[in-house]
Chains A and B, each alone.
Chain A
Amino acid sequence: MLFAKDAPREDIVVRGARVIDTAAGVDAVLDVRVDDGVIAALGQNLDTNSHQVIDAEGLVLAPAFVDPHVHLRTPGREDEETIASGTAAAAAGGYCAILAMPNTDPVVDSAATLGSLIEAARAEAEIPVGFLAAITKGQSGAELTEMGELAAAGAVGFSDDGVPVAAPGLMRRALQYGSVTGRRIALHCEERTLSRDGQMHEGEVSAELGFTGYPSVAESLMVERDLALAAYERQPLHLLHLSAWESVQALRRARAEGVQATAEVTPHHLCLTDEAIRSLDPNFKMNPPLRSGSDRTALIEGLKDGTIVAIATDHAPHARHEKEVPFEAAPFGVTGLETAFAALYTHVVEPGLVPLEVVLERMSAGPARAYGLDEPRIAVGSAANLVLLDLNASYRITEETFRSRSVNSWLLGETVKGKVRATIAAGRVAYSS
């Protein structure tokens, strides 16, 4: 279900890093030896043989990240991102795998379109990439796609991300039929009669600035509906980019009752609130919108207690000229692949809101599990999917640092802490700085 260009797997020794893999029960200063792309040994003073040596003293080595929610804009908007540029950006962000959403032009709703993406990924993807296919044809919410054929052709999951599946009857059919594919259905929860024309979270800030509000209940109402359908059909589902306190509450309750629901949250919803919109900077405009402080707190709590299993960037590249306009005229979405770890380390780990280990787990094993992918592990016999992090590096985010074709990052100009020094994806050094 994941595809990348062929590349020789490498022999590497990572020397002297603090190795953290909570699930494997590891947190110690160790050497890690990779033979032919597979972790062959963990220990002190390992022989380097003739391997490439990465001196990692003072750095953290963790399982590389998995991003379950990326927009690669291909086909259709290759000026904003391509498979090559998006996967290069992901490698620079510490990712060993990313999943691309199907809301492209054309929509990925046929095996033919999916096949051409897989072929392109095999030729140009720097790290493994998986493709979700649409739930409904053209994401128009009217007719199911041929999910069986799409799954057989390599779809990693199904989503109409960007738009909700509005009709409950069709959502039910998607959950029913989805079960035969064995792939996860991922839902963008938005009740559009409530969010219509909404530019930002409805609350004190929108009241003052005059922007049309996009209330929390527009999300949580749909979350409640989809959880009710999942419970009734006894089918799993994945909730995309949660933003509201009420959504987290509903999800926690449903999971306690045995509903197989997973969910993700973005770095920007964990780091920011709607106060950021006072800047009127379109790089703070995204869907769902940044919400209030209590929503942010609920997301952080949900992430810590495991209600939310994954951190997803919702990397949404947009052309420069489309964002250099007044806020209301700008499209929704911000980039995130290259800044996710630094943003989280700076805004939630350093201030003591979420432990580093939790962030690392929710950026790696959590999302992999949600989609039934192999979890990156630092254990002998596992494929080498590793990220090397410098927690002390402080630097300024500028346009020049991006490998993405787009620069619509909310972190532009900000000084952050925490830098990806190297990424080993599927046994190959995909990035080093």
Chain B
Amino acid sequence: MAEIRVMREDLRPPASPPRRHFISIKDVTRDDVERLLATARTLERSMEREVKKLPTLKGRLVINVFFESSTRTSSSFELAAKRLSADTMSIKSSGSSVDKGESLKDTAITLGAYDPDVIVIRHPQIGAPNLVARVTAAHVVNAGDGKHQHPTQALLDLYTMREELGRLEGLHVAIVGDVLHSRVARSLIQALSLMGAHVTLVGPPALLPRGIEAMGCEATTDISVIAGADVVYVLRMQRERMQEGANYVPSLREYTARWGVTPERLRPGQKVMHPGPMNRGVEIDPRVADHADALIETQVRAGLVTRMAVLYDLLTTGPIEVKTQSVLEVA
């Protein structure tokens, strides 16, 4: 990426040919997003055929490396690669050399030795995809790095909103819950601002990071404001990230009472989204989750085609046709 300060000269990737990555929403332009969404829509139509496999990425190798548990993201990346006829390989941290204490750098170099075209990585630490991009020659796609970014989630959410509501420009989206620990929220705030939507964050004070308004959104602890939004985007209460004794909220019970998304707090017809996995009865009332206005399953379907679009874009759009280098930017 343009602004990445490379740690060491000898770790700098080769200057040529230019490689593109999809690590952060921060570096993509509105045009890039429009192109990716359009590609996803084309791919979705092709998925309506009886035989769903496309030959586009035949002979390409996509390696999925997941250092954190995942159902949706890992399965959709794997299926996306397969639907495009790429060879795929999935590595999980448990049962791999990571268990033996291998460093991320060495794991990345090892996988890089197979000359993969794309490495998709999820890792609990911020910046792990950048490290992989430095030590391998592959295109790197960030499938979630710590609390930092989850750009393909944001892309599939944009896709879902555009398909359901017909527009992104001027849309008002309320993001509710644990923003502090949410990479989904960070990518989504940036992606929505980029497309001209308006974002309000709602949650308990300690879970709204100090200074978050600088990302171009509003923040409030008042749950009643969600009734004014076009879309209510519910974040998962990330219990596994809650340090013991941190007291972000007094209890989950109190959280649910104050910030749980219930039918009473919504306006009829309001669309509700959730990145999954849900804690039914905690951040989202089961009646809301199962209502026709909930787009949660639509999001999963969108995840497949947008991830296909990302892989397709990285591997078929040559550097000459890419309008900006910042998109899927040159390392």
A residues apposed to B, CB below 8 Å:
196-197, 202-213, 215, 278-283, 321, 323-329, 398-399, 412-413
| Contact, CB under 8 Å: B126 / A328 | yes
* Contact (A211, B126) CB under 8 Å given A280-B4, A283-B7, A412-B8: yes
Kindly list 12 other residue pairs between chains A and B, CB separation below 8 angstroms, not including A278-B3, A324-B7, A324-B131: A202-B210, A204-B212, A206-B209, A207-B209, A208-B214, A208-B215, A283-B7, A325-B105, A326-B145, A327-B125, A399-B8, A412-B7
**Chain A contacts of B212 at CB under 8 A?**
204, 207-208
The answer to whether B249 has its CB under 8 Å from any CB of chain A is: no
Pick from A204, A279, A282: contact of B4, CB under 8 Å: A279
**Chain A contacts of B210 at CB under 8 A?**
202-203, 207, 213, 215
**Chain B contacts of A211 at CB under 8 A?**
126, 147-148
| Contact, CB under 8 Å: B215 / A326 | no
CA separation between A327 and B214, bound complex, in Å?
22
| Contact, CB under 8 Å: A324 / B211 | no
| Contact, CB under 8 Å: A325 / B131 | yes
| Contact, CB under 8 Å: B123 / A326 | yes
**Residue in chain A with minimal CB distance to B186:** A210
**Chain A contacts of B243 at CB under 8 A?**
196-197
| Contact, CB under 8 Å: A321 / B148 | no
Name 15 interchain pairs, CB-CB below 8 A, sorted by A.
Answer: A203-B211, A204-B214, A206-B211, A207-B214, A208-B186, A210-B147, A210-B148, A279-B3, A280-B126, A283-B7, A324-B103, A325-B104, A326-B104, A326-B128, A328-B125
**Chain A contacts of B211 at CB under 8 A?**
202-208
CA separation between A328 and B211, bound complex, in Å?
20
The answer to whether B6 has its CB under 8 Å from any CB of chain A is: yes
The answer to whether B183 has its CB under 8 Å from any CB of chain A is: yes
Rounded to whole Å, the gap between the CB of B212 and the closest CB of chain A is: 4
CA separation between A327 and B149, bound complex, in Å?
14
**Residue in chain A with minimal CB distance to B130:** A280
CA separation between A325 and B211, bound complex, in Å?
27
Give residues of chain B (170-216) contacting chain A, Cβ–Cβ below 8 Å.
183, 186, 209-212, 214-215
Give residues of chain B (102-153) contacting chain A, Cβ–Cβ below 8 Å.
103-105, 123, 125-128, 130-131, 145-149
**Chain B contacts of A328 at CB under 8 A?**
125-127, 146
The answer to whether B9 has its CB under 8 Å from any CB of chain A is: yes
The answer to whether B5 has its CB under 8 Å from any CB of chain A is: yes
| Contact, CB under 8 Å: B105 / A413 | no
Rounded to whole Å, the gap between the CB of A380 and the closest CB of chain B is: 48
CA separation between A321 and B102, bound complex, in Å?
11
| Contact, CB under 8 Å: B7 / A213 | no
| Contact, CB under 8 Å: B131 / A326 | yes
CA separation between A398 and B9, bound complex, in Å?
9
| Contact, CB under 8 Å: A279 / B103 | no
CA separation between A207 and B186, bound complex, in Å?
9
| Contact, CB under 8 Å: B147 / A321 | no
Binary CB contact string for chain B from 68 to 104 against chain A (1 if under 8 A, 0 otherwise): 0000000000000000000000000000000000011
CA separation between A384 and B126, bound complex, in Å?
49
| Contact, CB under 8 Å: B103 / A321 | yes
| Contact, CB under 8 Å: B126 / A207 | no
CA separation between A312 and B146, bound complex, in Å?
33
CA separation between A282 and B104, bound complex, in Å?
14
| Contact, CB under 8 Å: B8 / A327 | no
Rounded to whole Å, the gap between the CB of A258 and the closest CB of chain B is: 35
What 5 pairs across the A-B complex have the smallest Cβ distances?
A210-B147, A280-B127, A326-B125, A279-B5, A204-B211
